[in-house]
Amino acid sequence: MIRNFLLALMLIASCSCTKADIDPPLTEDPETDNPTESIIEVPNEENNDDEQSNNSNYCAEINGVSFESPPNPCTSEDLSHIASKVNGGWIALSPFAFSQVGSPNVTFNSGQWWGETTEGTRILCDYATNNNLKIMIKPQVWMWNSWVGFYDLETEEQWLEWEAAYENYIMTFAEIAVEKNADIFCVGTEYKIAAVQRETFFRNLIAKVREIYSGKVVYAANWDNYNFIPFWDALDYVGIDSYFPLVNQKTPTVEQVVEGWGNWIGTIENFSNQTGKQILFTEYGYLSCDYSAWQNWELEGTLDQVDVNMEAQKNAFEGFFQSFWSEEWFAGGFIWKWFPNHDSAGGPTHKEYTPQRKTAQETIFEWYGR
C-alpha cells in the first residue's frame, strides 16, 4: 500500500509466479505489503442482529484519512480538502522509518521524503491544527523486499539492538506528539512476529510513551492477527489495519459487502467486548478496480491486469459504513489514503486506494458528515 510504484517493482522481483489472469483472482498468496501466510478461511460465525449494539443515534467519532507525506514541502491549503471534500475531521501522519531483512537497524529522518522527517511532521501537525483537524501520529516501518509483519531476527543480541533503535524512533515522534498536542499516538504497525515475541519490550515502550504523552495510545495490528497481540490492555483502542476480504466479485453490490462483513463483524465486536476497548481501524480502504472488496494485497502489484471500477470502490465504502458506523464499540478509522495535491490526485481512471475525485468521495462525504 505504501509507495505503490515501488511496491509493484518489489512484487515483480520477489513473487515466484505471475498472475496471467485475475478473473477470478488467484488464491495463492504472494509476498506483498499486506500478505497472509495461507489461503484465507473466512470464519463461519452468525451475525445475530439482536446482539448488535446498533444505536441509530450514535456515529463513530474518528472520521479520518491517512495522509501521504509529501516528498517536498506543501502548504496548509493542501490539507483543507480533507474537510471540504469528505467532511474529514482527523488526519493520520506516518513518518516512515526503514529496516532491512535480518538487520536490527531502524533508520529514519535521513535522506527521505520531507513529510516523513521530524521537521516535516511538525509542520504538517501545524497545518492540521490550522485546518481544525485532530491528529494521529503513526510512525511506521517500511521493509525493503519484504513486509514488516515478517520481520524477525536470529539472536537475542540482535533483538536488543533492534529494541534500542526502535525505541529511539518511537520516542522521537512521541515527543513531537507531546509538542504538537496530537490526539492519538501509535506505537507500532503490523509487527506480526515482533509484537508477540517481544511483548515485554512493547509494554515497556508503551509505558515510556505514557510518561511523557497524555493522549490516547494505540497499536495498529494487521487484520489477520489482531487477536494475537498480547498488550491490548495497556492501550486505549484495539487498532486494526482493516483489509478483510469480503466479496469475491468484480463489482460487489452494497448488500453483498454488508453480507461479507457479516462473516467478521461479530468476531470483531466480541473482541471489543473481551478487551473492553473500542475498535479503531487505523487503516481501511478499497482500490478502485475490479475485486476491490476481496484480497486487495494481491491486487496491489497487478493493477495492470484489472479494470478500473469506481462502482466497486463506492459500494465497498457504503457497505462498510452501513455495517460499522452506528456501532458504539467502533471508534472510527482512517481511510487509506489521501494525497496533498487534491486537484491532480485520484480521478476517474485511477485504480489505487485514494477516493479523491472518484464517486466514493461523495459517499464518504455523506457518512463523515453525520
309 pLDDT more than 70: yes
Rounded to 5 degrees, what angle do the CA atoms 159, 162, 165 make? 155
Residues 363-369 have a mean pLDDT of 98
Give the per-residue pLDDT at 47: 46
Give the per-residue pLDDT at 144: 86
Q: Which comes out higher in pLDDT, residue 167 or 25?
A: 167
Q: Which residues contact 262 (CB under 8 A, 6 or more apart)?
A: 47, 323
Contact 88, 82 (CB under 8 A): yes
Render pLDDT for 137-154 as a digit per residue (tens, 0 to 9). Answer: 999 999 988 999 999 999
Rounded to 5 degrees, what angle do the CA atoms 344, 345, 351 make? 130
> What is the DSSP-derived secondary structure letter of residue 272?
H
Environment class of residue 269 by beta-carbon count within 10 Å: exposed (0-12), middle (13-18) or buried (19+)? buried
pTM of the model: 0.86
Give the per-residue pLDDT at 37: 38
Residues 117-130 have a mean pLDDT of 98
Give the per-residue pLDDT at 237: 98
Cis upstream peptide for 358 (omega within 30°):
no
Render pLDDT for 203-216 as a digit per residue (tens, 0 to 9). Answer: 999 999 999 999 99
> Rounded to the nearest 10 degrees, how much is the dihedral formed by the CA atoms of 345, 349, 352, 355?
60
9 pLDDT more than 90: no
What domains, with CATH codes, occur in the chain?
A: 54-368 (3.20.20.80)
- Give 56's pLDDT tier (boundaries 50, 70, 90): low
Render pLDDT for 165-190 as a digit per residue (tens, 0 to 9). Answer: 999 999 999 999 999 999 999 999 99
Q: What is the mean pLDDT of the chain?
A: 89
18 pLDDT more than 60: no
Contact 310, 359 (CB under 8 A): yes
Residues 66-84 have a mean pLDDT of 98
Give the per-residue pLDDT at 50: 42
